[in-house]
A and B are shown apart, each in its own frame.
Chain A
Amino acid sequence: MSQVAGLTVAQGALGLGQRAEQAHRWGRAPAPLIGAAVLAAALVLLPILVTIVQAAGLSAKDAIDLLVRPLVGRLLINTVGLVVAASFTCAIIGTATAWLVERTDLPGRKVWAVLAAAPLAVPPFISSYAWVSLSNGLQDFAGALLVVTCAYYPLVYLPVAAALRGLDPAPEETARSLGYGAWGCFVRVVAPQLRPALYGGMLLVALDTLIEFGAFALLRFRTFTTELYAQYRTGLDGPESSLLALVLIALCLVCVVAELNVRGRARYSRVGSGVRRIAAPVRLGLTRWPALLAFAALTSATLGVPLGMIGYWLLQHAQAATSPVAPSLPLLFSATFASVSYGLAGAAAAVVLAAPLGYLTTRYPSRLSVILERIAYLAQGVPGIVVALAFISLTIETIRPLYQSAALLVVAYAILFLPFALVGVRSALAQVQPGLEEAARSLGLGWFGVTVRVLAPLAGPGIGAGAAMVFVFVVTELTTTLLLAPIGTRTLATEVWANTSTLAFAAAAPFAGMMLLISLLSTWLLARRFGAAVFPDGA
């Protein structure tokens, strides 16, 4: 696994595991490098600090009164209830699909392997749009659970499938020979070895459920994120909202820290070396028919419904509330251009932030570099809505020139998706032998020359993979875009939002379709171009 799986589990992946492997000490890091890395880490902490400062305006008594009230209780029940339920449904579906794909003779396994991972490229608020427009009966808790499960079960599927591939079949064979049946063998021998991958995946599901906004807003399911947005809309974005935001951040950080711990202890080692064999696939026999049916149902729910509903609404036009504003090609083009431009700018900015951090941690590992890197990974536990609200009040009050600027939105993207860029930069740099840089330097190249002529060609593809991932996330990002987009800027995400939240489903369809197209296409290209690095074992 290590950093490769980090990229595979696109949504959150850290890849911290392999820190010390190339502890190639070059002495003290240059001050500008440390400065740049500290700046990147400080940017991640900035929104949290702003939120804390705002909440600090409250007296202790007011704070307690505001925290211990029915609204917070209801939000906690809604949010935590959904997080727990989604983690379990994703765990069950993710593990079952992984086992069927990796360990059985299910017909069409290669195809199912791709289809099982593909839902990651469908933004949750797009599948939410599809389900809501299919039937408005699918709302509230059940609807939210359905959408979240469809969107996030691959976060369990991918690591569990990778773990199953890597398992040595010998203990299973021994267990079988000692009298365990197939089920007993799975429960007593296989499942314990899958635990790190499974728990890690479940925590990523929990984290993504906590910070999701658009899907729940469209489903009318109230969580902390939708409540923060609602309070902002009512003009009540004072210290009370900041306090709610802190509760949400605390929940997220619990997940991030737990995930780091699970990842840190993810070791089920084999004693001795030798060639790892591929386990003999379990023969499904007649059970393969229900299994195939289940896979077909899963694919219909995760990919069929979004694609089908978008297609359906694209073909509807006469309906009143949608027709006057329905597909306007120039608007579709300009929204696509805006989304793609922000995607590119966000990816570039994230790589710029990640580069010094990645270089510091791979070339000058120290206690400081570990701390800075961990801070950078905290970014995945900071919800977009918190970053956006913090940035609005920061710029409106103190840094006015940045207020409502494109630059601010790009910085927000860079902070939110820094972990993905960092995973790419770090793993790419780790694979470049430091000796090559030393040789180039000894032959007279300056740091710029080394960067352009040695590091860029060697680490370029890996960094590009990270950047491409950030690009996809930015294009499909809703919350921050909605709150920070400069006046007059319309992206695919804001158009889907504006139309869907007013029930104009047909008007939303072209924008939703375009976004899905870009996301699926980029993910496919990413998988093809960087397949070997990103999707191990050719899955």
Chain B
Amino acid sequence: MTSLRILRLVLPAVVCFGMVSPGALAASLTLYSAQHEQTVDLLTKAFTKETGIDVKVHSGEAPELASQIVKEGASSPADIFFTENSPELELLSEKGLLAKVAPATLASVPAQDSSPAGDWVGVLARENVLVFNKSMIQEASLPASLLDLAKPEWKGKIAIAPTDADFLPLVGAVIAMKGRPAALEWLKGLHDNATLFDDDEGVVAAVDRGAVATGIINNYYWARLRAEKGADKIQSAIHHFAGGDVGGLMNVSGAAVLKSSRNQAAGQKFLAFLVSKPAQDMISKLDITFEYPLAAGVAANPILKPIGELQPPSLTIKQIGDDRDAAQLLREAGLI
């Protein structure tokens, strides 16, 4: 391999990179996505097939993407933001970075699951649950309230993922229902009791292999593990919080078009597609996400507990907040 031959190999690659600079193709949409890559892949492919509009995806964790969009400001390359939880969308909404969603799109889902200001639309919902290892603990001895997990008797028996984007809304909900001082006390208790993981996948895997007895997760991480391992091999089960306890919080995964986007019409088309019956049907039929579809008349995956039987706390999107207070509190409690 002489250096000339290397040069001959490398030059075309370098030239190619030079040409594909971001934003060069106006006909396509850029999606900042915190939803699962597999789900988004299927959705964007179906969307491109239907409309001919190409979608480029930039994946990341929702708070990371939100802070990126805030920093990028008016020149953000993103056209659409698709998250797993509402707070990041609320943050961008408060900063005035989101465009109004077409009324017809908003009308496809229940009003309380979308932005109060009408600038993002709810797409899917997921439930917060407790996962427990069946051979380590009986369901009957699990606590009635999420807040009980901060009590000393739970020391060493609980796993949490404080840096997962799904944990922050839960903290926001506790702040809304019990006040900031009580929320801080709760987090300090968890700090003493809990084994920490990077994400919900880590928590559910640890509980299933018996490293920890219980863990706080969103329901569908367990459903995914069950699908991956097989129902006969799974060592864990999930426990639903009842009676409107904060532990049974329902999180809304939503999407918005950015105000700075130069592809407003195409962006609105994508939002409409996300809440359309075919797209919602596709998501709930595939064993990938296990989230509740929000569009009327679409049945949820049968592996999920029927949404009518859940007893989530009655909190509005506004009350759950925008993650900033929650993140601050996590740091004060020494969890991040």
Q: Which residues of B contact A396 (CB under 8 A)?
A: 68, 71-72
Name the interface residues of A374-405: CB closer than 8 Å to any CB of B.
396-397, 400, 403-405
Closest partner residue, chain A, to B41 (CB atom): A325
The answer to whether the Cβ of A115 comes within 8 Å of any Cβ in the partner chain is: no
How far apart are the CA atoms of A478 and B22 in the complex, in Å? 22
Chain A 129-166: CB-based contact to B (< 8 A → 1; otherwise 0): 00000011101100000000000000000000000000
Interface string of A299-324 (1 = CB under 8 A from B): 00000000000000000000111101
B141 on the A face (CB < 8 A): no
How many Å lie between the Cα of A70 and that of B6 in the bound state?
51
B106 close to chain A: CB less than 8 A: no
Interface residues of B in 206-260 (CB under 8 A from A): 206, 208-211, 224-225, 227-228, 230
B residues in contact with A290, CB < 8 Å: none
> Please, how many angstroms separate the alpha-carbon atoms of A487 and B20 in the complex?
11
A434 within 8 A of B: no
CB–CB A230/B163 < 8 A: yes
Judge if B148 is at the interface, Cβ distance under 8 Å: no
- Please give the distance in Å from B171's CB to the nearest CB on chain A: 11
> Which stretch in B116-124, B197-205, B311-319 binds the other chain?
B197-205
For residue B135, CB closer than 8 A to chain A, the reply is no
Q: How many residues on A have C-beta within 8 angstroms of the other chain's C-beta atoms?
A: 63
Q: Are A405 and B3 in contact (CB under 8 A)?
A: no
Please tell me if the beta carbons of A504 and B61 are within 8 angstroms of each other in the complex.
no
Would you give the shortest CB distance from B161 to chain A, in whole angstroms?
A: 9
Is B36 interfacial (CB-CB < 8 Å)? yes
Q: Is A467's CB within 8 Å of the partner chain B?
A: yes
| Contact residue among A70, A322, A405 (Cβ-Cβ distance under 8 Å from B22) | A405
CB < 8 Å neighbour of A139 from B14, B60, B205, B228: B205
Name the A residues within 8 Å of B196 (CB-CB): 222
> Which A residues are CB-close (under 8 A) to B225?
503
CB pair B224–A235 under 8 Å, yes or no, is: no
How distant is the Cα of A235 from the Cα of B331 in the complex, in angstroms? 13
Question: By DSSP majority rule, is chain A's interface helix, strand, loop, or mixed?
Answer: helix
Contacts of A322 in B (CB 8 A): 228
Q: Is A97 an interface residue (CB 8 A)?
A: no
Measured CA separation A351–B1 after assembly (Å): 14
Q: Does A44 make an interface contact (CB < 8 A)?
A: no
A226 within 8 A of B: yes
Q: B residues within 8 A CB of A400?
A: 75
In the bound complex, what is the Cα–Cα distance between A529 and B287 (angstroms)? 48
Asked if B288 lies at the interface with its beta carbon under 8 angstroms from chain A, I say yes
* Residue from B9, B14, B209 in contact with A136 in the complex, judged by beta carbons closer than 8 Å: B209
Indicate if B58 sits at the interface (CB-CB under 8 A).
yes
- Contact for A235 among B63, B206, B228, CB less than 8 A: B63
For the complex, give the distance between the alpha carbons of A345 and B14 in Å. Answer: 6
CB A317 to nearest CB in B, in angstroms, measures 13
Instruction: Select from chain B the residue with minimum beta-carbon distance to A392.
Output: B68
**Is A168 among interface residues, defined by CB-CB distance under 8 A?**
no
A270 at interface by CB-CB < 8 Å: no
CA distance A348 to B287 in the complex (A): 44
CA distance A7 to B37 in the complex (A): 39
Q: How far is the CA of A467 from the CA of B22 in the complex (A)?
A: 28
Interface string of B1-35 (1 = CB under 8 A from A): 11110110110011011101110000000100000
Selecting from A8-16, A179-187, A412-420, A454-462, the interface stretch reads A454-462
- In the complex the two chains form, is A137's CB within 8 Å of B209's CB? yes
Within 8 A of B (CB), among A326-372: 341, 344-345, 347-348, 351
Q: Which of A230, A344, A404, A504 contacts B10 (CB 8 A)?
A: A344
A234-B327, A345-B14 as given contacts; A504 in contact with B228, CB under 8 Å: yes
- Say how far A490's CB is from chain B's closest CB, in angstroms: 9
User: Which residues of the partner chain B approach A321 to less than 8 Å between Cβ atoms?
Assistant: 38, 224, 227-228, 287-288
A77 within 8 A of B: no
Q: Please pick, from A71, A217, A467, the residue contacting B198 in the complex, using a CB distance under 8 A.
A: A217
Alpha-carbon gap, A40 to B230, bound state (A): 53
Task: Give bound CA distance, A529 to B6, whole Å.
Answer: 15
Query: Is A69 in contact with chain B by the CB < 8 A criterion?
Result: yes
Q: Within 8 Å of chain A (Cβ to Cβ): is B334? A: yes
Q: Is B66 an interface residue (CB 8 A)?
A: yes
Contact of A69 among B75, B224, B334 (CB under 8 A): B334
**Which chain B residues lie closer than 8 Å to A403 at the CB level?**
72
8 closest cross-chain pairs (CB), A and B: A320-B287, A235-B63, A488-B56, A233-B61, A320-B227, A235-B67, A230-B163, A406-B17
14 more A-B contacts (CB under 8 A) besides A234-B336, A396-B71, A397-B71?
Answer: A140-B211, A220-B206, A230-B198, A231-B163, A234-B168, A234-B327, A235-B66, A325-B42, A403-B72, A457-B2, A460-B2, A499-B37, A503-B225, A507-B38
Subset of 6 A-B contacts with CB under 8 Å: A233-B61, A320-B287, A347-B10, A407-B17, A464-B2, A503-B201
Interface residues, chain A, CB within 8 Å of chain B? 69-71, 135-137, 139-140, 217, 220, 222, 226, 230-237, 240, 319-322, 324-325, 341, 344-345, 347-348, 351, 396-397, 400, 403-407, 410, 456-457, 459-461, 463-464, 467-468, 486-488, 498-499, 501-505, 507, 529
